[in-house]
Amino acid sequence: MDCEVSRGPTFRFGMFELDLRARQLRKNGHKIRLQDHPLKILTYLLERAGEIVTRQELQARLWPDGTVVDFENGLNAAMGKLRRALCESADRPRYIETIPRQGYRFLLDVEVVEPQGSAAAADSESLRPSRFRLRPWIIAAGITAALLLLTMGFEGWRAIRFRPAPPASTCTLAVLPFLYLDPDPEGQYLADGMTEELTTQLARLEPRSLAVIARTSAVAYKSGTKSIAQIGRELGADHLLEGSVRRSGDRLRITAQLIRASDQTHVWAANYERSFGDVLVVEAEIARAVADGVHVVLSPVADDRLRHARTVAPDALEACLRGRYLLWSQERTPDTLAKAQTHFQEAIAADPAYAAPYAGLAEYYALLPDTARTGLKAAILQSKAYASRALTLDGSLAEAHMCLGFAAAAFDRNWRAAGTEFERTFELDPNLVRGRAFHAVYLLAIGRPEEAVAEIRRAQQVDPLGLVLRHQTTRTLLLARHYEETIAEARKILELNPSSISQWAATSQASAHLGRIQDALDALQKAAASLSTRAYVYAAAGQEEKSREARQELEQSFREGGLAAYWLAGAYAAAGDKAAALDWLEKAYQTNDPYLNLRLQQDAVLDPIRGEPRFQKIVRRMDYPR
């Protein structure tokens, strides 16, 4: 039922608030002009934040009497005006996502404030003001949470408690890629490393009042061809930090300036001349100056962290920066990962008390399965060991807690420990995008697919252009059974990288699940290197001989020590051989196959055998949280 705009609540999201009583959209207190149809669209999307609102539903809301001459053009025009008011574009959504051939979805958390004097406000006042999103699933979750508190105690609750949406006064900052002014291109890692470190430092300061756009989205503006105002609009940023680095032997000259995007006013600027080993100290000084420039009050913990930034051995810092530059390259390959590993080891040799390279190695081993399926279990154990060492040296490293959370889920099957580690990760750095991606994997593993999708969407708000995150997005959507969205997301990546095997594989599998067998086979031709996809899709298409050939290759891989048991279970299930599928699933359990641990509850390829007693027995032994 339509709300009465004149008596409705106020919705708050990010820097915006929509006051339905006043019929006003405001950003940081400043009124933004919004016409009737865009206002109604925004209201409806906010009422159903996180849900898909179809175009037909919007037609009924905008034109309830059915009197519309050109619905498509009318809706597109209204949506275009709304996007302009929110300073976003359809291809880089921050607030409203377009769902192809369906409709739209509002992406951010929404805070609902009832007007004073209303019945709803009186009811909430008699209890306690609620600052959570008011959705039916949260009401149900609240009831479940109460029962959990009684049965599990506080420690069991910690891993699943809800967090309120950030206040509307949050300032959004983007750290633009620092320029490297020396002619030697080999030194580019230094500028990129400083950009990454500053982004991390600032994101950890006061996340409830300072939101920081991820580096992988900001790096798209490295060419410098767009104006500050345009970059601010596209990223949804209030302030931009830019700077440059020049090196002369062991000395660095660093410049930095903070600019307000709306009017391009320089809020703050400074020059630094220091030794190479003092880079972390300079970064802490810049972070403090930026916090002052955007009027963010530091907590005692954040203030103490900045004051105790340490000097690092120059060789260790240089090697670590090189490693991080390669580790999070947009074109990550086995070769770049191997070089990153070498640089982190060099950093440790130069300064064994420096925590960052240990955390870098922990991430390296956690990422290794992306590029090689052999030795996965050994890689997870290595990740766990390096993360533990990093935290011994510096307990505030969010990425190390992230790696421990992933290892606890993928290898130890310790679901409670994994949840605790991820909670600690986001206490330290709520904007850690790769942490959100790993957390989505964990949520899928314990059977909470919609929360996994919400988590990956939350990461996209911070990193709307990150290619690495987009890859994880398609995996999450596929396992969560959002097949149309999987295909749409994969298409975006394939436009940038037409040879991406993983995205053709995701497209092929999603099409097969939708029953579009020819589309699945067409995509499979581009994903031929994916053995598991070939075995499954050919079986689903009834091409038994080709599926058998792929299964034989997987069985050979298993005999050689590869992690193929789980994929074989899915392939045999699709082929209709339930006994063989269950045999391979049991082998996956006995060998502690991480793919089984992370995919068993959600993967649709196992649906033909989910009702079998042997399958249910394995599920019980996994001891998933209830």
3-state helix, strand, coil in the chain (%, to 5): 60, 10, 30
User: CB neighbours of 27 closer than 8 A, spacing ≥ 6?
Assistant: 15, 16
101, two tokens: 């051939």
pLDDT of residue 224: 65
**551 SS3 class:** helix
Q: What span, in angstroms and rounded, lies between the C-alpha atoms of 481 and 506?
A: 11
* Ranges of each domain in the chain: 5-113, 170-309, 312-430, 558-626
Q: The tokens 């059977």 sit on which residue?
A: 447
327, two tokens: 């580790």
Query: Strand ranges (DSSP E) for 157-222?
Result: 171-175, 179-180, 210-212
Q: How far is CA 304 from the centre of its chain?
A: 29
Task: Indicate the fold that domain 312-430 takes in CATH.
Answer: 1.25.40
pLDDT of residue 256: 92
Query: Are the C-beta atoms of 463 and 330 separated by less than 8 Å?
Result: no
Q: What span, in angstroms and rounded, lies between the C-alpha atoms of 192 and 469?
A: 19
Q: What span, in angstroms and rounded, lies between the C-alpha atoms of 236 and 86?
A: 8
Query: Are the C-beta atoms of 53 and 61 separated by less than 8 Å?
Result: no
DSSP symbol at 238: S
Q: The tokens 């290794």 sit on which residue?
A: 368
**585 SS3 class:** helix
**168 SS3 class:** coil
- Secondary structure, 3-state, 66-110: CCCCCHHHHHHHHHHHHHHHHCCECCECCCEEEECCCEEEECCCC
List helix spans (H) across 411-500: 415-428, 433-445, 449-462, 467-479, 483-496
pLDDT of residue 67: 59
User: CB neighbours of 166 closer than 8 A, spacing ≥ 6?
Assistant: 14, 109, 207, 208, 209, 211
Q: What span, in angstroms and rounded, lies between the C-alpha atoms of 546 and 535?
A: 7
Query: Are the C-beta atoms of 322 and 194 separated by less than 8 Å?
Result: no
Q: What span, in angstroms and rounded, lies between the C-alpha atoms of 214 and 459?
A: 9
User: CB neighbours of 448 closer than 8 A, spacing ≥ 6?
Assistant: none
Residue 515 backbone phi and psi in degrees, to 5: 85, 10
Residue 104 backbone phi and psi in degrees, to 5: -140, 160
Q: What span, in angstroms and rounded, lies between the C-alpha atoms of 442 and 608?
A: 24
**What DSSP assignment string belongs to 106-164?**
E-S--EEEPPTTSHHHHHHHHH----S---HHHHHHHHHHHHHHHHHHHHHHGGG---P
CATH number of the 5-113 domain:
1.10.10.10
Candidates 241, 240, 251, 254; CA nearest to 180 is: 254
Q: What span, in angstroms and rounded, lies between the C-alpha atoms of 450 and 444?
A: 8
pLDDT of residue 607: 96
pLDDT of residue 155: 32
Superfamily of domain 170-309: ABC-type transport auxiliary lipoprotein component (3.40.50.10610)
Query: Are the C-beta atoms of 340 and 382 separated by less than 8 Å?
Result: no
CB neighbour class for 316 (10 Å; exposed up to 12, middle 13-18, buried from 19): buried
pLDDT of residue 208: 75
Q: For residue 337, which amino acid is it? A: L
| Per-residue CA distances from 429 to 99, 156, 199, 203, 432 (Å) | 30, 22, 11, 7, 6
pLDDT of residue 28: 59
Residue 159 backbone phi and psi in degrees, to 5: -75, -10
Q: What span, in angstroms and rounded, lies between the C-alpha atoms of 257 and 288?
A: 13
Q: What span, in angstroms and rounded, lies between the C-alpha atoms of 234 and 176?
A: 13
Q: What span, in angstroms and rounded, lies between the C-alpha atoms of 491 and 498?
A: 9
pTM of this structure:
0.65
Neighbours of 123 (CB within 10 A): 10
Q: What span, in angstroms and rounded, lies between the C-alpha atoms of 271 and 245?
A: 10
pLDDT of residue 140: 42
User: CB neighbours of 129 closer than 8 A, spacing ≥ 6?
Assistant: none
User: CB neighbours of 596 closer than 8 A, spacing ≥ 6?
Assistant: 565, 566, 585, 588, 589
Query: Are the C-beta atoms of 443 and 455 separated by less than 8 Å?
Result: yes
Query: Are the C-beta atoms of 545 and 537 separated by less than 8 Å?
Result: no
Candidates 114, 239, 109; CA nearest to 174 is: 239
Q: Count H helices and E strands in the chain, helices first.
A: 28, 14
235, two tokens: 């990223």
**Residues β-bridged to residue 88:** none
In which residue ranges of the chain is pLDDT below 50?
1-6, 118-169, 371-374
User: CB neighbours of 549 closer than 8 A, spacing ≥ 6?
Assistant: none
